[in-house]
Structure 1
Amino acid sequence: MKIDPLFILTALLSLIKALPTTLIITVVSVSIGLILGSTVALIRIYRIPVLHRIAAAYVMFIRGTPMLMHLLLIYFGLPMLIDGISGTWGLPFHSNQIPLIGFVLISFSLTAGAYMSEVVRAGILAVNRGQIEAAYSVGMTTAQALRRIVLPQALSVCLPNLSNSLIGMLHASTLAFTVSVVDINAQAQIVAATNWKFLESYIAAALLFWGMTVLIERATSRLEKRINNYNRGGVA
């Protein structure tokens, strides 16, 4: 068996067509997940009645079950729920109006939210409590203390783990093909199936993922330096 280097280049050019789908899945899921995770983290830190128990149960369930399971539960369960509600209330909206990528985004966002909530919570708790008390002493509200003092420092602590979460979601986006969403992984299988050159196709996909991972790592490194300079009072 011989590897065909020329076909690796051909496959790589074909896989680029699926790159926007992979990036949309990654960026949207991580963005929504960060917002959801930050909200859950604050709910748990400040122990908001009732909500903090729901938040803790959500994090425990998501972290205790596989990501593929979340995708399948959303893919098969959400249509039943939507169609059931639509049938009961006579609503015109039905699950077949949701694009396949919509199920992926919902599932992956929920997964990202649970994991990022722990990252954000750890970052906030790492900030010295005395700084928050000092903010209160000068008349700041909790929201002002979080925005001006806690979150900038917490972001510096969280950034490496947030970067890992972004890279992890990028790689996990390959699960989208299980519900017929054509991402890079699915496109690699399509290209390979037409020529029976599976090894070359997967090498091309691996190179593409590796390149994006390197870009994320370098961007994170530069951002971390800027945040550290800002927190030290230097020029960002």
Structure 2
Amino acid sequence: MKLDISFIWQAFLQILPAIPTTLFITVLSVLIGSIIGTFTAIVRIYNVPLLSQVASGYVTIIRGTPMITHLLIIYYAVSMLLDSFSKQYHLDFNSSSIPMMAFAIISFSITAGAYLSEVVRAGILSIDRGQLEAAYSVGMTTSQTLRRIVFPQAFAVSLPNLSNTFIGMLHGSTLAFIVSVVDINAKAQIVASTNWKFFEAYIAAALIFWGITFVIERMTGLLEKRFSVFSRGGVK
């Protein structure tokens, strides 16, 4: 087999338009997952009755099963429930009218939430207990303490793990092709199907993923430097 360098470049250019789709799925999933993860982490840290057990079960189950399983379950479960509800109440609606991307975002958000909950929990628990007691002593409520004292420091501490989770979700987003979403990986398959040069097309896709990952790592590095300056009391 002879490597076609010229086709790698052609495939690269043809795959580029799929980048916004991949980034949209990844960013939105991580944002929603951050909300889910933060809520789950707080519930577990403060041991909220019943909710803490549910949160622990959610994290254990999601982290113990593959992303592809989550996607398939969400796709079929949501479709069945909506179609059943529509049929029961004679509504002019069916699951086929829902954009396929929505299933991917719901699934990936649930997955991201479980992983990010552990990142957030570790970040919060790393904060010195004395700072919390000091905040309470000056009259701050729990929500004020979390918002003003805990979350900013926890975010700085958790940056490397947050970056890793984001990159993991970026790479995991390639599973979206299962529900017919044309992301970077799916676009590579489509491009390669014209002449069966899958190897070259996947090399082009890999280069794009590497480039995006490199940018994320660089941005994380800059944020870490910025936060380290403020933690030393310096200004730039």
Q: In the alignment, residue 23 of structure 1 is paired with which amino acid? A: L
In the comparison of the two structures, how many residue pairs are matched?
A: 236
What residue number does 2:128 align with?
Answer: 128
Residue 172 of structure 2 corresponds to residue 142 of structure 1? no
* Offset at residue 234 of structure 1 (A): 2.3
Residue 49 of structure 2 corresponds to residue 57 of structure 1? no
SS of the equivalent of 1:195 reads coil
Q: In the alignment, residue 80 of structure 2 is paired with which amino acid? A: M
* Offset at residue 92 of structure 1 (A): 4.4
Deviations 1:50-80 (A, max 9, x none): 2111111111110111110000001111111
What residue number does 2:37 align with?
Answer: 37
SS of the equivalent of 2:194 reads helix
Question: Which deviates further from its counterpart, 87-96 or 30-39?
Answer: 87-96
* Offset at residue 20 of structure 1 (A): 1.1
Structure 2 counterparts to residues 210-221 of structure 1, below 5 A: 210-221=210-221
Equivalents in 2 of 1:83, 1:98: separation in Å?
Answer: 11
Contact 1:152 1:231 in 2 (8 A): no
Deviations 1:150-198 (A, max 9, x none): 1111111111000000100111111111111111111111111101111
* Offset at residue 228 of structure 1 (A): 2.1
* TM-score between the two structures when normalised by the length of structure 2: 0.96
What residue number does 1:184 align with?
Answer: 184
Equivalents in 2 of 1:82, 1:107: separation in Å?
Answer: 16
Equivalents in 2 of 1:98, 1:147: separation in Å?
Answer: 36
SS of the equivalent of 1:56 reads helix
Residue 155 of structure 2 corresponds to residue 155 of structure 1? yes
Which residues of structure 1 form unaligned runs of 5+? none
Cα RMSD (Å): 1.2
Q: In the alignment, residue 194 of structure 1 is paired with which amino acid? A: T
Question: Which deviates further from its counterpart, 122-131 or 221-230?
Answer: 221-230
Which residues of structure 2 form unaligned runs of 5+? none
Runs of 4+ residues deviating >6 angstroms: none
Equivalents in 2 of 1:22, 1:72: separation in Å?
Answer: 18
Question: Which deviates further from its counterpart, 226-235 or 36-45?
Answer: 226-235
Question: Which deviates further from its counterpart, 43-52 or 203-212?
Answer: 43-52
SS of the equivalent of 2:193 reads helix
Q: Identical aligned pairs, as a percentage? A: 63
* Offset at residue 93 of structure 1 (A): 4.1
Equivalents in 1 of 2:194, 2:200: separation in Å?
Answer: 12
